[in-house]
């Protein structure tokens, strides 16, 4: 190990606290974390000079690859003017243009307002607060409850977490946050009293943190229909699915659905800088006009951060200039073929795919789950790492969702690394 690497690991173990991490294991003497130093395209390098395919798009954020020249140039150009400008009391060119371009993806008269924030969680917080305040200001203050889907994930700040349904993350904080009812299907929603509900929140087309589980085709359109019939607002969490991940720019476009709120983050800047956006309709926005107390009193210091907006605009340009969406069907087919190959392995229970997002669920040969303590998913990812693939499991489901710039050969390379890693881990 290089001296630099050793020093960085020492400092980290002495002072850093990592997300979702058992720190005692992280800091154990025999654990040598990778120190990632840079990336290019779909590849990452560590401080020892080793190269890895970025198999989870750097925690689901990266879209066009690392250090994309056009995005880097746009960020650099903005930083030379200013790294941050207040959006409170002022505006700036890039935020204005980006808002217009985001709304331009949707039919006129639908989503036409953009509220900026920082992360997926804050994009959700905004939508939830707007949805509740909307009811207060439109004569239905009793509509304070949300419906959400069992095992859904919407972020970790308190309000967003209270809507989530993945018990290992949220159970101990139940009782804080919004009143919420979890359901498993649109049919189950029918048993709720819509007069209590401000909105229903869903990850459209596929649940991410719940092990990459696609919804049945048509489900989202059915949900839109139910919302139309009951006046409950449809809040789409496209933090993971946005920006081409599922094959279309936004997942909701696959079922011709336009929500009342659309939450965007991770891929908004191409995965380069933290920036989020909550889009909503004229109907919702109108309720915040009028008397002073009707305004939406919410914001963060870095709202509409200019380099973030520059990156987001550049990322949209890359979609256009490099015809990114047009090339996805072929890559998705290559992934489907590779997953079919993996699916024949006796330890692969099921593979799930939506666009370039996939999950590979491991189980014992008799079909039962591995004991949790066996940490099979983790072991397979460790084995794949030595073959040049970086990714993370969700329990025993291996996530594979490369940046959209991945090539067919890189997809095969990654799946080969997993296939070789499974018996090794077993």
Kindly list the residues in this chain that would bind ligand PLP in the complex (CB under 6 A).
60, 119-121, 153-155, 203, 208, 237, 239-240, 265-266
Of residues 154 and 334, the one with the C-beta less far from ligand PLP: 154
C-beta of 398: minimal distance to ligand PLP in Å? 17
For β-strands 389-390 and 357-362, DSSP reports them as unpaired
Closer to ligand PLP by CB, 203 or 361: give it.
Answer: 203
Pick between residue 237 and residue 255 the one whose CB is nearest to ligand PLP: 237
Give the position of tokens 């009793």: 142
Nearest to 120 by CA among 240, 261, 259, 271: 240
157 or 185: CB nearest ligand PLP: 157
Kindly state the smallest distance separating residue 5's Cβ from ligand PLP, in Å. Answer: 27
Shortest distance, position 120 Cβ to ligand PLP, whole Å: 2
- Minimal distance, residue 122 CB to ligand PLP, in Å: 7
Calpha distance 284→53 (Å, rounded): 43
Shortest CB 340 distance to ligand PLP, Å = 26
CB of 263 to ligand PLP, least distance (A): 7
Question: Nearest distance from residue 239's CB to ligand PLP, in Å?
Answer: 4
- How far is residue 37's CA from residue 23's CA, in Å, rounded to a whole number? 22
Choice between 60 and 250, CB closer to ligand PLP: 60
Q: How far is the CB of 308 from ligand PLP (least distance, A)?
A: 13
Q: Which residue is nearest to ligand PLP (CB)?
A: 120
Using the minimum distance from each CB to ligand PLP, give the nearer residue, 395 or 420. 395
Instruction: Name the residue nearer to ligand PLP (CB basis): 357 or 422.
Output: 357
- In angstroms, what is the minimal distance from the CB of 167 to ligand PLP? 16
Is the CB of 157 or the CB of 382 nearer to ligand PLP? 157
CB 118 within 8 A of CB 298: no
371 Cβ contact list (under 8 Å, min separation 6): none
Q: Quick one: 251 or 347, whose CB is closer to ligand PLP?
A: 251
């Amino acid at each position: 190990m290089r001296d630099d690497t050793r020093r960085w690991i020492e400092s980290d173990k002495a002072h850093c606290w990592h997300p979702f991490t058992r720190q005692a294991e992280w800091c154990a003497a025999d654990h040598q974390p990778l120190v990632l130093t840079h990336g290019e395209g779909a590849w990452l390098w560590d401080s020892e000079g080793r190269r890895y395919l970025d198999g989870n798009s750097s925690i689901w954020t990266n879209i066009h690859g690392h250090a994309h020249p056009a995005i880097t140039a746009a960020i650099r150009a903005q930083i030379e003017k200013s790294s941050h400008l207040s959006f409170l009391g002022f505006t700036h060119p890039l935020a204005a243009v980006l808002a217009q371009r985001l709304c331009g993806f949707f039919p006129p008269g639908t989503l036409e307002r953009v509220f900026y924030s920082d992360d997926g969680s804050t994009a959700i917080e905004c939508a939830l607060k707007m949805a509740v305040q909307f009811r207060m200001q439109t004569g239905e203050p009793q509509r304070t409850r949300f419906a959400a889907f069992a095992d859904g994930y919407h972020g970790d700040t308190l309000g967003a977490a209270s809507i989530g349904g993945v018990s290992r993350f949220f159970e101990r904080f139940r009782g804080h946050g919004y009143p919420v009812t979890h359901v498993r299907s649109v049919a189950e929603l029918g048993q709720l009293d819509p007069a209590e509900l401000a909105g229903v929140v869903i990850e459209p087309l596929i649940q991410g943190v719940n092990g990459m589980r696609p919804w049945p085709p048509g489900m989202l359109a059915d949900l839109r229909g139910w919302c139309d019939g009951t006046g409950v607002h449809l809040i789409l969490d496209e933090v993971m699915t946005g920006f081409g991940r599922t094959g279309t720019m936004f997942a909701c476009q696959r079922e011709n659905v336009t929500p009342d709120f659309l939450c965007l983050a991770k891929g908004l800047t191409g995965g380069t800088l933290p920036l989020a956006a909550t889009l909503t309709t004229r109907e919702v926005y109108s309720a915040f006009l009028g008397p002073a107390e009707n305004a939406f009193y919410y914001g963060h210091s870095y709202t509409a951060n200019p380099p973030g907006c520059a990156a987001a605009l550049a990322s949209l340009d890359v979609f256009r200039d490099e015809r990114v969406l047009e090339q996805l069907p072929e890559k998705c087919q290559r992934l489907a073929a590779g997953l079919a190959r993996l699916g024949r392995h006796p330890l692969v229970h099921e593979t799930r795919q939506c666009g370039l997002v996939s999950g590979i669920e491991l189980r014992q040969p008799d079909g039962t789950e591995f004991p949790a303590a066996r940490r099979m998913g983790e072991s397979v990812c460790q084995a794949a790492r030595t073959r040049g693939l970086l990714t993370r499991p969700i329990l025993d489901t291996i996530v594979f969702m490369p940046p959209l710039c991945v090539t067919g050969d890189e997809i095969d390379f990654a799946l080969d690394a997993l296939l070789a890693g499974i018996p090794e881990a077993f």
